[in-house]
Chains A and B, each alone.
Chain A
Amino acid sequence: MNYKLDFTPVLDGLPSLLTACLGTFALAIGGMILAIIIGIGGVMLRDSKIAPIRWFIKSFVEVIRNTPFLVQIYFIYFALPLAGLRLDPTPTAIIALGINGGAYAIEIIRGGVQSISRGQIEAGLALGLHKTQVFRLIVLKPALRAIFPSLTSQFVLLTLTTSIASAISAYELTSVAQQIETSSFRSFEVYGVVTVFYLVISWLMMRAFGMISTRYFSYPVK
């Protein structure tokens, strides 16, 4: 027990760690956008008249939600080149994050759409609102409001999941931390500091989503 904590390698690596946070944000935001697209598309296709499409969406959701992200990212990493797509680790990681987040987004968005009762839409039309107004004001906004808390926690989770992208050496915080660790052997110090970084990142995300929520969704109901 004569180990002395030494933070100099971490301090020396601080600039590269801070820049790597941008990599983490890029993965997170890219993953979120793709997840939203897959989520909305999936919800629309989930009720498709063509049965195989419905089955595909449903099995996609179940398979993704019941297997680890690490296995998914390995699989995608090796599968994309076979499909003729030679991508760097970072775009590959964004695709994997988007696919993973998309499966969860499908379930969340579906819940939001189902929470709008038929009568609301009919009432809107009866009041003489235009169809697009009905969609925007009566379907979309309340549905978004209803799912916003679960969407927020899902996206914070997605942001934390970006650390697993280090397994295919995508550019983000954890992989840069691993580089500093291998060259300095100050494992505890490096990962301790990076853990605090992640804490700040997820806190910032929560604040940002909280601000969006108060700005757009804090109107009174009833």
Chain B
Amino acid sequence: MGSDEFLFLLAGLKWTVALSAVGFIGGGIAGLAVALARTSEYPLLERVTASYIALFQGTPLLMQLFVVYYGLALIGLKLDAWVAVSIGFTLHASAYLGEIWRGSIEAVPKGQTEAAKALSLNYVSRMKDVILPQAIRISLPATIGFLVQLIKGTSLAAIVGFTELTRAGNIISNQIFAPLLVFGIVGVLYFIMCWPLSLYGARLERQFAAASR
């Protein structure tokens, strides 16, 4: 494998990072809305978001990408493959992050909400200044865990036909007939992205566990 092939892989890597970043940021914003709706104490909102989460957690990511990809084309939106898969990952991430953050919001002791209400803080201030700062802290290990999951998940964009790292690997491997070498290198590149995050997440988890003891 020459340097040209390796540079091609790195170009794919760039798209993997971009997809992960867009999915995580977009999914984070939408996921916050999902989490807030899920804990809103309005039965209808809670039920709708609960089904939304169940839908995404009960189906394969690959199917979600297919349905979003072809569904968007079907309603007449002529989108770039890159935009279509980004929307797919954003929706996927919003459901998972919404569920993680719902758990964290509920894990904040009830007394905090009661105290904020007793101080007559309104909903926005109660969430923004009291509950969410604590919930974010609690959710950090699981959120980082999901980010790793998402980075690995972007490899499925390859099956939809988008040239990110894994598909770049596929193309190179077909060119130079060295699948083990190429997929070995591709695996190493993913590992370099994911492992530090995993270690960081595990460290935070240990710290929090020690702090709450």
Contact = CB atoms under 8 A, between A and B. Distances in A.
Given A70-B166, A71-B186, A174 B59 contact: no
Contacts of B70: 187-188, 191
A28 to B, nearest CB: 12
Interface string A162-187: 11101100000010000000000001
B60 to A, nearest CB: 4
Nearest to B154: A68
Contact of A163 (B57, B63, B169, B170): B63
Contacts of B184: 75
A195 interface: yes
B63 A79 contact: no
Contacts of B179: 74-75, 78
Contact of A71 (B55, B73, B169): B169
Contact of A195 (B63, B155, B166): B63
Nearest to A202: B58
Given A68-B155, A71-B166, A78-B183, A191 B66 contact: yes
A192 B69 CA distance: 11
B2 interface: no
A198 B59 contact: yes
B156 interface: yes
Interface of A: 1, 3, 62-63, 65-72, 74-75, 78-79, 82, 156, 160-164, 166-167, 174, 187-188, 191-192, 194-195, 198-199, 202-203
Interface stretch (B27-35, B40-48, B108-116, B189-197): B189-197
Interface string B60-86: 111110110011011110000000000
A99 to B, nearest CB: 13
A74 B75 CA distance: 34
A75 B180 contact: yes
B187 to A, nearest CB: 5
Contacts of A191: 63, 66-67, 70
Interface in B146-191: 148, 152-153, 155-156, 158-159, 166, 169-170, 179-180, 183-184, 186-187, 190-191
A130 to B, nearest CB: 35
Given A164-B62, A188-B70, A199 B194 contact: no
A1 B76 contact: yes
Nearest to B151: A68
A164 B62 CA distance: 7
A71 to B, nearest CB: 5
Contacts of B75: 1
A18 to B, nearest CB: 17
B134 interface: no
B39 interface: no
A70 B180 contact: no
Contact of A164 (B60, B67, B186): B60
Contacts of B61: 160
A192 B71 CA distance: 9
A192 B67 CA distance: 6
B153 A66 contact: no
Given A75-B180, A191-B67, A164 B156 contact: yes
B158 to A, nearest CB: 7
Contact of B198 (A1, A62, A78): A62
Nearest to A72: B187
A78 B186 CA distance: 14
A75 B187 contact: yes
A67 B194 contact: yes
Contacts of A188: 67, 70-71, 73-74
Given A67-B194, A194-B63, 11 more contacts: A66-B194, A71-B187, A75-B180, A75-B187, A82-B180, A161-B60, A163-B60, A164-B156, A164-B159, A188-B67, A199-B59
Given A67-B152, A75-B180, A202 B63 contact: no
Contacts of B153: 68
B156 A195 contact: no
Nearest to A201: B58
